[in-house]
Amino acid sequence: MSAIELAIEKVKHLDEQHARQLLVWLQAQEPLAPAPAAPVGARALLGFARRFRAEARPTAGWMAELREGERD
């Protein structure tokens, strides 16, 4: 009999409370999915401007604003 079959047989004889405890313990033993890596470099800045100005603007609009700053 395999280890899996032996484990199933033992679990069949547990009461509900002990079966739940075993299930919680087994779930805690499962490895967690790795967290996605944070973007680095220029990709990390994508969306940064949205924190300050939620509405989208055409390129001509923000380029005009940049040029105004150059003139000052």
Answer yes or no: are the C-beta atoms of 25 and 14 closer than 8 Å.
Answer: no
| pTM summary value | 0.40
pLDDT of residue 5: 92
| Cα→Cα distances 68→13, 48, 61, 72, Å | 78, 22, 11, 7
DSSP 19-72: HHHHHHHHHHHSPPPPPPPPP-GGGGGTTSGGGT--S---HHHHHHHHHHHHH-
Q: State pLDDT tens for residues 18-68.
A: 999 999 999 998 888 788 888 888 888 887 777 887 888 899 988 998 898
Answer yes or no: are the C-beta atoms of 46 and 39 closer than 8 Å.
Answer: yes
DSSP 14: S
pLDDT of residue 55: 84
